[in-house]
Amino acid sequence: MKKRKLFSLVMTVVLCAPMFIGALPALANFNETGYPIVDEPITLEMMARRSPIQPVWDDMGFFQEMEKLPNIQFKFRTAAGTDYTQAKQLALASMDLPDLFYGGELTANEEADFGAQGILIPLEGLIDKYAPNFKKLIEENPEIKASITAPDGHIYALPGIDQNITSKTPIMWLNGKWLEALGADKPQTMDEFYELLKAFKEKNPGNVEEVIPLTAANAAELRLGLLANFGLVQQDGIYVDDNGKVQLAWTQPEFKEYLKYMNRLYDEQLLDNQMFSHTWEQFVAKGKQVGVLSTWPIVMVGFHDVTEAMHYPVLPPMTSATNPQKLTVEMSEIKRGRAAITSKNKYPEATMRWIDYAYSEEGTILARLGIEGKTFVWNEDGQWVLLADEGLSTTQTNAKHAPGVGTNVPMVLTREFFEKEGGNPTILAIYEWILEDLIPYAKLPFPLVYFTEDEIDVINMYKMDIDTFFQQMEAKFITGAESIDGGWDKYVKTLKGIGLDDYLEAHQSAYNRWAKAQ
């Protein structure tokens, strides 16, 4: 009898034990301060957009370091370019979630939409308790908090701060050696720009096999660099005009002028005819043949000696028939949507602590510069100097261990940080160029707003079709497959037919809300 009772008691305990073990909250494994962050190692799945120049993240020094001390292992789900956009879409829309997004490129709409659905968890509570670095950051800069808080009052994603001058505006570069060989000045108007491209092609100052005066990785990159010159400063097609009214750039007469100009360039082979079909790798391989580059020269031309960059001045904003003043797009310092925690995550507190490290100075350095001794060193003047591995450029080497090169991970990149770069007078010179040529003309097209759930529904319904259609037509107009004069009216009419008015209305109400709060 007794044995039986004992037996059933033991069985009860044994059977109930899993209940208790499972109930052992993640918090028991968690340390609020100090390292390691968790006593028992845990594994989190991270989703991120990596860049083609990076190795797999398992091999990156940043993660190897960031796994050791905190005692957290990571499983990586990464993809590059549009593959990532699709993967992210899929993950969010199908609830096949990672534990966190880090360098996740979440749009404001995704934040608000999926935050409201509970797929991304609210972070303000966690920030308050477990993110001392980030908390300090927003206390010192209250406008950050306002910019990352969704309409329902919650914060769903953490931003990065990038005060780097080179991140403030789009930049295109000129092949300086060619410019010199021609004895030409930097163009100030679109007409001069056209003449310059023509001269590149006809005179072949670089003596290359085939001159490609102008190219870009894709049409979007081209647009980013040059549309502003026609008077349109927009972000994702949206901008606010001088009357406070929200407009779509793609139906404006200035856009028509842009298309006409590009079509002319395309026709005359001044614009790379393969721009719409080449892969990123094919694009980069053309580096040495290009007169005007849309990506950092070091990536496209691949020089090992950083000072080579001095030969690539930046392309200044230019005026045109539709645009008497020099303009370029200003991009906010606050880069939203870099890190978020999903509802699948069982260790949000530990995750927040882990993420928070990036907002400290050491954390940012680790994320952006990599490993001391391997990718950078401090010199006697307290500056940081990038190293270059055998046969590789500094950017290439840097990318091996620092995810911040190529991916927008959470970082606080202040002006001071960049001024501390040593051993690279070239980049300081480039900063000067940008300060002089581009910054004064930068204009913010649309503020950092958030949309309500209803507005997001409307936007989701139309954005895909609007974007797809306008991109398709843009390609056709520029390549000449469709005549601009003949097809423009029909094009605008079709866009209007895709619910353009509702689409703009949604943006307008969000903008009005933001304007009132100022």
Q: What is the binding site for other proteins (CB under 8 A)?
A: 52-53, 55-56, 77, 86-87, 89-90, 92-96, 114, 117-119, 276-277, 279, 281-282, 284-285, 287, 299-302, 304, 391-393, 396, 400, 457, 460-461, 464-465, 469, 472, 475, 494, 497-498
The nearest distance, CB 291 to other proteins, in angstroms, is: 17
- Is the Cβ of residue 276 or residue 441 nearer to other proteins in the bound state? 276
The nearest distance, CB 463 to other proteins, in angstroms, is: 9
- Is the Cβ of residue 135 or residue 344 nearer to other proteins in the bound state? 344
The nearest distance, CB 499 to other proteins, in angstroms, is: 9
Measured distance CA(31)–CA(29) in Å, rounded: 7
The nearest distance, CB 41 to other proteins, in angstroms, is: 21
- Is the Cβ of residue 181 or residue 284 nearer to other proteins in the bound state? 284
The nearest distance, CB 55 to other proteins, in angstroms, is: 5
- Is the Cβ of residue 52 or residue 244 nearer to other proteins in the bound state? 52
The nearest distance, CB 88 to other proteins, in angstroms, is: 9
Measured distance CA(431)–CA(296) in Å, rounded: 13
The nearest distance, CB 383 to other proteins, in angstroms, is: 25
Estimate the crossing angle of helix 253-267 against helix 453-479, to 10 degrees. 40
C-alpha to C-alpha distances, 454 to 106, 107, 108, 507, nearest whole angstrom: 19, 16, 14, 11
As a dihedral over the C-alpha atoms of residue 251, residue 257, residue 259, residue 260, rounded to 10 degrees, the angle is: 140
Measured distance CA(464)–CA(453) in Å, rounded: 17
Q: Quick one: DSSP state of residue 320?
A: B
Contact 170, 225 (CB under 8 A): yes
- Is the Cβ of residue 103 or residue 231 nearer to other proteins in the bound state? 103
Measured distance CA(447)–CA(235) in Å, rounded: 10
Nearest to 115, CA basis, from 151, 162, 144, 166: 151
Measured distance CA(187)–CA(317) in Å, rounded: 9
- Beta strand ranges found along 11-55 (DSSP E): 42-50
Neighbouring-strand partners of residue 45: 75
The nearest distance, CB 157 to other proteins, in angstroms, is: 17
- Is the Cβ of residue 469 or residue 514 nearer to other proteins in the bound state? 469
Does 36 sit behind a cis peptide bond, omega within 30 degrees of 0 on the bond before it?
A: yes
Residue 352 burial (10 A CB sphere; 0-12, 13-18, 19+): buried
Measured distance CA(381)–CA(373) in Å, rounded: 16
Secondary structure in 3-state letters for 108-121: HHHHHHHHHCCCEC
- Is the Cβ of residue 189 or residue 395 nearer to other proteins in the bound state? 395
Contact 265, 214 (CB under 8 A): yes
Name, in order, each residue with C-beta under 8 angstroms of 185's C-beta and a sequence gap of 6 or more.
179
Name, in order, each residue with C-beta under 8 angstroms of 26's C-beta and a sequence gap of 6 or more.
346, 347, 349, 350
Nearest to 393, CA basis, from 317, 287, 477: 287
The nearest distance, CB 23 to other proteins, in angstroms, is: 23
- Is the Cβ of residue 303 or residue 441 nearer to other proteins in the bound state? 303
Measured distance CA(275)–CA(484) in Å, rounded: 19
Estimate the crossing angle of helix 394-401 against helix 61-68, to 10 degrees. 30
- Is the Cβ of residue 210 or residue 416 nearer to other proteins in the bound state? 210
The nearest distance, CB 276 to other proteins, in angstroms, is: 6
- Is the Cβ of residue 354 or residue 470 nearer to other proteins in the bound state? 470
- Is the Cβ of residue 70 or residue 403 nearer to other proteins in the bound state? 403
Residue tagged 């230019």 (tokens)? 318
The nearest distance, CB 75 to other proteins, in angstroms, is: 9
Q: 292: part of which helix (H) or strand (E)?
A: strand 290-293
> Half-sphere exposure of 397 toward its Cβ, with a 13 Å CA cutoff?
21
- Is the Cβ of residue 282 or residue 512 nearer to other proteins in the bound state? 282
Nearest to 27, CA basis, from 43, 8, 17, 40: 40
The nearest distance, CB 118 to other proteins, in angstroms, is: 5
The nearest distance, CB 173 to other proteins, in angstroms, is: 15
- Is the Cβ of residue 56 or residue 428 nearer to other proteins in the bound state? 56
